[in-house]
Every structure is written in C-alpha cells, then in structure tokens.
Amino acid sequence: MLVVLAEEMNMRKASEKLFVSQPALSQRLQTIEKSWGTQIFLRSQKGLTTTPAGERIIEYAKEVVEKEEIIREEIQGLDFGIHGTLKLACASIIGQNWLPQILKRYVTAYPHAKISLLTGWSSEILKNLYDNSVHIGIIRGNPDWKGVKEHLLTDTLYLVDTEISKIEQVLETERPFIQFKSDSTYYQEIQEWWYSKFQTPPKRTIVVDQIETCKQMTLNGIGYAILPSITLNKSDTNIYKIPLLNEQDEPIKRDTWLVGYESAFELKQVQAFVEIMKDSAKHL
C-alpha cells in the first residue's frame, strides 16, 4: 500500500489501483503511521507529500515488496509448469523488430507466465541488470559483461534510400542524412565509417529520437539513413539497400547478445523464454 501511495501521491488514484475505498485506505494509512509513531505523508488538496521519515519507511517497504516477489518466484519455480514473471530489458531496435514474434510464442506456450518488459539503449539495460531489476537483457554491440553472455544474432548495416543507388552519390546529393539517437558505441561506429569513407560531414542532417521514425522518413523519401538489416523487411522493395563496407571491403556488422547473472538463468520462466528466443534466432 505504501509503495502504491508513493507512486501515485494521490489518495483517490491509489485507492482505485488497490481496489479499496478511499476512507478504508485513509484509515489503514493512519494505523500504519501510528505504529511507526510518525507521519509518512502530508495531505493537502493537491495530493500527498512524503515526509523525511516517510521516505525512509517507503524505501523499506519497497525492499520488502521486492524480496517478497523474489521468494514467490522461487516457490513457484518448485512447481511443475512455467509461472512467475519474466523480467526482460531489451535494446529498442530488437524490441521493435524481432522481440514481438518471440513474446507471442512465449505467451501462447506459457499462458500462466507474466512479462515485464523494458526497452532502451544498451547502457540503460546494463544499469537495469546491475540494479537487479530485470532477469536478463538483450543488448546490441559487444558489452563488457562478466556474467552469462551468449551470442544471439549478427546483422549488417545498410545505407538506405529511395534514390541513392551507389554509395558515391552521397557526396552529390542535397538530401538530408536522417539519424536516430542511439547509444554511444553505435554512433561512434557510424561516425568512424563515415569519416573514413568521405572525410567530410554530411551536407544536411535530421536527427530523430526513434529508429522507427528514422525508417519511416526514409521509406517516404525524405532522406537517406544507415539502418541495421534487422529493421528492414523483404517487402521494402521500393528502396535501395547498400551494405556498409569497412576498409577491408567487408560488411560492417553488429552483434546482439543475451546477458544476465547465472542465477537468473536457473528460473524456469527465463529458461523457457531463452529456448524460444534461440530457436527463433536460428531462422533469421
């Protein structure tokens, strides 16, 4: 109850989320505050404000809730079947393009399992793993990880455009280079390739916050972009896809890894997900 109140900072919203009446919630809060001998929240018409003592109590409550969930998962793991919550953090590119089909297979095969999914940059996923807020992470690049680290897939980088059919035309075009915000390793890799190839920055650039936005702007002829092959469909026939080559004329590739602590891979819901994911990776 304290955790929900701290999240909502509003008695009405918290009561709705907890499926109790507001008077009952208020009375229960008063009882808890009395047992602690201090006020946890200050009430006003605008909502709730946490007191200094309340911050410490809520922090303790969150720790108890997290420990309870871990114990429940361990107990459920002793039974037959797949139960518990799969806590997954995934690179946005994978989450938008490959993960949905895997999750569909997972929820179909294991209807009693729950899923908690976070998406973001690889650096954010590593932080979630260090904080122990997720079981496993799917990360792009080559992360420095001391725990379990398994290779999932490798895809190729392409320069994609509706008009440019040869890489040399980039220097001639007035069309903008559409970039999406990404983690530092991916950005650095693109920058190094660009300057080794052209020795001059793009004439015009457009920066967007999501890779899907970048892709759609490219498909609609607004400009050109560099995209990994996992984001491109075979049905995208109205565009040119030019592979990026390094100084040895080899395609520039990017790896995707599965990472996590060894203890997480002992959970049945994690094992079931990893099995489906590895099977799906074989058919890419």
pLDDT reported for residue 79? 63
Distances (CA, A) of 128 to 105, 120, 260: 25, 10, 10
Q: pLDDT tens digit string along 67-79? A: 888 888 777 666 6
pLDDT reported for residue 77? 63
Predicted structure pTM score: 0.69
Domains of the chain as residue ranges with CATH: 2-78 (1.10.10.10), 85-153+255-282 (3.40.190.10), 157-252 (3.40.190.290)
pLDDT reported for residue 243? 93
pLDDT reported for residue 223? 94
Residue ranges in the chain modelled with pLDDT below 70? 76-80, 184
pLDDT reported for residue 106? 95
pLDDT reported for residue 70? 82
pLDDT reported for residue 69? 84
Residue with tokens 């079981």: 135
How many Å is the Cα radius of gyration of the chain? 24
20 contacts 11 by C-beta, under 8 angstroms = no
pLDDT reported for residue 166? 92
Q: pLDDT tens digit string along 15-55? A: 999 999 999 999 999 999 999 999 999 999 889 999 999 99
pLDDT reported for residue 100? 93
Judge residue 35's burial from the number of C-beta atoms within 10 Å of its C-beta, 0-12 exposed, 13-18 middle, 19 or more buried: exposed
**CA contacts within 13 A on the Cβ side of 135:** 24
Write the DSSP assignment of 124-185 as a string of letters. Answer: HHHHHHHTT--SEEEEES----SSEEEEEEEEEEEEEESS--SGGGGGT--SPEEEE---HH
